[in-house]
């Protein structure tokens, strides 16, 4: 069963927004055994949309379309779909009722262009969108299903979760796709490949291995497809165990979760607490951690200490340390980490102080110089990194390095 995703709208093609919808949709489809063959972003241009629909119809069983359903003139998806399927228009009663309810809830008057949002190509089935004014539309032609959804992420997600995915599951007998991910740290991609070369060469044709490097970590992903889920799972587990035995000391966790989530799970199982003291990462590490539900049993909070004054008042860094060694130094980052443990009363802490850039560098501390410390109640490890001159990248790499250092410290004290 093959699906394709088509996103419609100039905003992706001029780079104003990043297409996060497609990755989310692809993940959900894979989980129910539908492979995504292609993701295509096209502009709000009738002829181009028609061509993309035709090509997708030839390749795929299911075509998911997002975007271009707003009430304004730049959105032409509905008109183009009517033309593609050679249909006229009707005003859909269910869709109109939903538009009415939404405007009533927000106590806004219903405008003509809002009523027109309930106009749909007359041969489609309408799936009511409970979170927005643009209806979802289901078409079928030549054994291909086309589903048009709004591009607003949470409206699309609700429709997928509650309507589209259940309908696809009940309609088709789907093959199973089993993924197994092993997260590794402290080893490069090519060294990893060399270590597990023999295992990789022994994989059967229906099991694939992929290397996904990111910010100093490498994810290994085994993917198997076939008709017998239990058999696939067993097979994949066998190969995963072989890989983990071979590169054991580099394995963080054998789940497809983020590094910080692996750390949270480990700390929760040991009843440990964590705080953060961030300067150049500016709350990014706290944000990574607090994305995860249930983090509050481990993570107590922390400081974003951008100014000298806050490093002193919240974390207890000595003024003398800051003036003698500077904010970006082993001494300061050590006092930040130990101050976090003391003031926030947690078992472990992370502290980061660096020059994220693009300005603020000096000859001996160029942009990209970052000091990171991790502390337990009886040990602090501090390390300096030299990243690049790109601010966002320095923030992300500092966070990944800090989390890897914390993981290594936690592993030391098993």
Site for its own copies in 171-200 (CB under 8 A): 179, 188-191, 193-194, 200
Work out how close the CB of 210 gets to its own copies at its nearest, in angstroms, rounded to a whole number. Answer: 5
User: Residue 32 to residues 12, 180, 256, 337: CA-CA distances in angstroms?
Assistant: 27, 15, 16, 44
- Cβ proximity to its own copies: between 190 and 413 the closer is 190
Instruction: Answer yes or no whether residue 141 interacts with its own copies by CB under 8 A.
Output: no
Could you give the string, one character per residue 335-374, with x where binding to its own copies holds by CB under 8 A and - elsewhere? Answer: --------xxx----------xxxx---------------
- Cβ proximity to its own copies: between 11 and 237 the closer is 11
In angstroms, how far is CA 189 from the centroid of its own chain? 21
The residue from 50, 76, 199, 304 that contacts its own copies (CB under 8 A) is 304
CA atoms within 13 A on the CB side of 306: 5
Could you give the string, one character per residue 111-130, with x where binding to its own copies holds by CB under 8 A and - elsewhere? Answer: x-xx----------------
Residues 6+ apart with CB under 8 A from 153: 20, 21, 24
Q: Which residue has the tokens 């106590």?
A: 107
Instruction: Answer yes or no whether residue 28 interacts with its own copies by CB under 8 A.
Output: yes
Instruction: Answer yes or no whether residue 214 interacts with its own copies by CB under 8 A.
Output: yes
Give the range of 139-147, 148-156, 163-171, 263-271 binding its own copies by CB under 8 A.
148-156
Query: In the structure encoding, which two tokens stand for residue 396, read together?
Result: 């992300």
Question: Are residues 338 and 318 in contact, defined by beta-carbon separation less than 8 angstroms?
Answer: no
Rounded CA gap, 149 and 135, in Å?
7
- Cβ proximity to its own copies: between 345 and 379 the closer is 345
Query: In the structure encoding, which two tokens stand for residue 156, read together?
Result: 């699309």
Direct distance between the N- and C-terminal alpha carbons of the chain, in angstroms, rounded to an integer: 46
Site residues for its own copies, 38-77, by CB under 8 A, read 38-43, 48, 52, 55, 70-74
Rounded CA gap, 221 and 300, in Å?
33
Could you give the string, one character per residue 233-272, with x where binding to its own copies holds by CB under 8 A and - elsewhere? Answer: -----------------------x----------------
User: Residue 235 to residues 106, 173, 179, 228, 292: CA-CA distances in angstroms?
Assistant: 53, 22, 11, 11, 30
Number of residues that bind its own copies (CB under 8 A): 109
Work out how close the CB of 190 gets to its own copies at its nearest, in angstroms, rounded to a whole number. Answer: 5
């Amino acid at each position: 069963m093959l699906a394709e995703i088509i996103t419609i709208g100039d905003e992706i093609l001029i780079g104003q927004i990043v297409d996060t919808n497609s990755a989310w949709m692809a993940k959900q489809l894979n989980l129910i055994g539908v492979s995504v063959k292609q993701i295509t972003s096209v502009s709000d241009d009738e002829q181009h949309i028609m061509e993309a629909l035709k090509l997708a119809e030839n390749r795929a069983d299911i075509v998911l379309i997002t975007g271009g359903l707003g009430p304004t003139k730049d959105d032409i998806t509905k008109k183009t779909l009517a033309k593609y399927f050679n249909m006229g228009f009707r005003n859909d009663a269910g869709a109109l009722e939903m538009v009415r309810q939404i405007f009533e809830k927000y106590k806004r008057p219903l405008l003509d262009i809002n009523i027109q949002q309930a106009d749909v190509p007359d041969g489609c089935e309408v799936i009511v969108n409970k979170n927005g004014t643009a209806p979802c539309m289901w078409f079928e032609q030549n054994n291909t299903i086309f589903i048009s959804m709004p591009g607003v992420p949470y409206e699309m997600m609700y429709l997928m979760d509650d309507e589209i995915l259940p309908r696809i599951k009940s309609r088709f007998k789907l093959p199973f796709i089993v993924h197994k991910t092993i997260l590794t740290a402290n080893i490069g991609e090519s060294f990893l490949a060399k270590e597990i070369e023999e295992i990789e060469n022994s994989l059967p044709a229906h099991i694939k291995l992929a290397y996904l490097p990111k910010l100093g970590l490498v994810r290994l992903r085994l993917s198997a497809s076939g008709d017998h889920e239990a058999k696939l799972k067993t097979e994949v587990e066998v190969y995963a165990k072989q890989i983990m035995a071979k590169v054991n000391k580099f394995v963080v966790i054998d789940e497809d979760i983020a590094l910080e989530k692996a750390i949270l799970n480990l700390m929760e199982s040991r009843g440990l607490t964590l705080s953060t003291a961030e300067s150049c990462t500016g709350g990014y590490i706290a944000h990574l951690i607090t994305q995860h539900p249930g983090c509050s049993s481990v993570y107590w909070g922390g400081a974003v200490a951008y100014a000298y004054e806050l490093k002193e008042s919240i974390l207890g860094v000595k003024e003398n340390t800051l003036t003698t060694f500077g904010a970006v130094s082993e001494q300061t980052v050590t006092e930040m980490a130990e101050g976090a443990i003391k003031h926030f009363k947690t078992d472990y802490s992370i502290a980061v102080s660096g020059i994220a850039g693009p300005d603020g560098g000096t000859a001996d501390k160029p942009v990209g110089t970052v000091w990171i410390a991790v502390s337990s109640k009886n040990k602090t490890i501090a390390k300096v990194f030299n990243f690049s001159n790109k601010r966002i990248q320095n923030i992300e790499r500092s966070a990944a390095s800090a989390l890897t250092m914390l993981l290594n410290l936690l592993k030391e004290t098993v």
